[in-house]
């Protein structure tokens, strides 16, 4: 379908185009939706920057979406770019430093014409700890009673059944959606993406923030959402990993990788994640049966 857009402020996408671009898969009592559209135009980007109060990354996919919904109860969890960026630290607390961090931040502020006031320091690495936007279902009090508290004992935590996910069950629905990406002014990468795969009896969603600031630090922040369609069990697991850049590079060298292969590996969050120590881990369960 050909798209003709003449103005950066022209309404795009239209509601009808949003509907056309949204894929919906129904499995059991759940609905899984995904949407991929082009990079947002300058008008919506400026509006988003103004709402967030910070400059946004170079590549924003503001209309992209992944959601999992349980229509019977009204429960839903959705992943969107603006909500992910809203979890970026908006002060200078823990702000990463590189040789010309100030210059980089100033250039990003000037590029965001929609912000009229001077932007305060913020986490310009866009290291979001976003775990999805959850909408509680009807009978929320009962659901809260079923939900396991953060940090509860091992006897009450129900982990994601990895062995079941290793089975070679046919994949009925799959998508990979990017929410935002920044090259950090050629200092590395900050990428938030969501993958979802649905099998007959279960599904797994992986929302990942991969941030590599060259010669400084590497972070991987994963949110996994597991759904058992038969039992109605929903498990959300959040794992944050982090280490110094030099330690990651050393780890790749110890695996026998040559310099060119190391450069390639540093672009692969899966290879890097294996080397990073866990710095935070949370587990939540809810049953929607």
- Greater confidence, 186 or 248? 248
Residue 254 falls inside a structural domain: yes
pLDDT classification of 112: cutoffs 50, 70, 90: very low
pLDDT at 102: 52
Residue 84 falls inside a structural domain: yes
- Greater confidence, 84 or 106? 84
| pLDDT at 12 > cutoff 70 | no
| pLDDT at 266 > cutoff 60 | yes
Q: What percent of the chain has a predicted confidence (pLDDT) above 70?
A: 80
Residue 5 falls inside a structural domain: no
Can you tell me the mean pLDDT for 109-134?
70
| pLDDT at 119 > cutoff 50 | no
pLDDT at 7: 54
Residue 218 falls inside a structural domain: yes
Give the CA distances from residue 200 to residues 169, 172, 174, 194, 235, in Å, rounded to whole numbers and listed in that order: 8, 7, 12, 20, 17
pLDDT classification of 6: cutoffs 50, 70, 90: low
CA atoms within 13 A on the CB side of 253: 7
pLDDT at 95: 61
pLDDT classification of 91: cutoffs 50, 70, 90: confident
Residues in the chain: 289
210, burial (CB in 10 Å: exposed 0-12, middle 13-18, buried 19+): buried
Residue 80 falls inside a structural domain: yes
Residue 16 falls inside a structural domain: no
**How far separated are the first and last CA of the chain, in Å rounded?**
40
Q: What is the residue whose two structure tokens read 């990651």? A: 248
| pLDDT at 260 > cutoff 70 | yes
CB 208 within 8 A of CB 200: no
Q: What per-residue string of b and e applies to 234-253 under the rule 16 or more CB within 10 Å gives b?
A: bbbbbbbbbbebeebbebbe
Q: What is the residue whose two structure tokens read 């866009």? A: 126
The total domain count for the chain is: 1
Residue 134 falls inside a structural domain: yes
HEC string of 122-167 equals CCCCCCCCCCCEEECCCCHHHHHHHCCCCCCCCCCCCCCCHHHHCC
Residue 154 falls inside a structural domain: no
Q: What is the residue whose two structure tokens read 């060119």? A: 260
pLDDT at 103: 47
- Greater confidence, 20 or 105? 20
Mean pLDDT of the chain: 86
Strand partners, 210: 191, 220
pLDDT at 108: 52
| pLDDT at 67 > cutoff 90 | yes
| pLDDT at 288 > cutoff 70 | yes
- Greater confidence, 140 or 17? 17
- The string of pLDDT tens digits covering residues 162-221 is 999 999 999 999 999 999 999 998 989 999 999 999 999 999 999 999 999 999 999 999
Domain that holds residue 167: 23-149+161-287
Residues 6+ apart with CB under 8 A from 77: 67, 68, 132, 133, 134, 135, 225, 236
Q: Which parts of the chain are beta strand (E)?
A: 22-27, 30-35, 59-60, 65-70, 75-79, 133-135, 173-182, 188-198, 202-213, 217-228, 233-244, 278-287
Spatial separation of the C-alpha atoms in residues 27 and 196, rounded to whole Å: 13
| pLDDT at 238 > cutoff 80 | yes
């Amino acid at each position: 379908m050909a798209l003709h857009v003449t103005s950066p402020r022209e309404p795009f996408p239209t509601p009808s185009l949003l509907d056309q671009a949204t894929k919906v898969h129904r499995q059991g009592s759940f609905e899984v939706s995904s949407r991929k559209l082009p990079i947002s135009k300058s008008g919506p980007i400026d509006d988003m920057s103004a709402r967030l109060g910070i400059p946004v990354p170079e590549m924003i996919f503001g209309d992209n979406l992944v959601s999992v919904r349980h229509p019977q109860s009204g429960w839903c969890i959705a992943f969107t770019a603006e909500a992910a960026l809203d979890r970026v630290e908006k002060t200078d607390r823990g702000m990463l430093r590189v040789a010309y961090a100030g210059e980089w931040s100033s250039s990003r502020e000037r590029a965001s014409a929609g912000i009229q006031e001077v932007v305060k320091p913020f986490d310009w690495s866009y290291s979001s700890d976003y775990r999805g936007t959850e909408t509680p279902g009807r009978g929320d009090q009962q659901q809260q009673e079923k939900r396991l508290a953060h940090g509860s004992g091992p006897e009450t935590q129900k982990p994601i059944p990895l062995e079941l996910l290793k089975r070679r069950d046919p994949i009925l629905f799959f998508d990979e959606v990017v929410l935002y990406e920044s090259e950090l002014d050629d200092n590395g990468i900050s990428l938030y993406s969501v993958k979802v795969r649905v099998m007959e009896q279960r599904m797994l969603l992986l929302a990942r923030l991969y941030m590599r600031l060259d010669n400084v630090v590497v972070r991987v922040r994963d949110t996994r959402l597991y759904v058992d369609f038969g039992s109605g069990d929903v498990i959300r697991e959040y794992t944050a990993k982090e280490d110094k850049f030099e330690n990651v590079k050393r780890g790749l060298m110890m695996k026998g990788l040559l310099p060119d292969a190391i450069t390639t590996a540093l672009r692969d969050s899966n290879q890097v994640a294996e080397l990073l120590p866990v710095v935070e881990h949370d587990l939540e369960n809810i049953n929607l049966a």
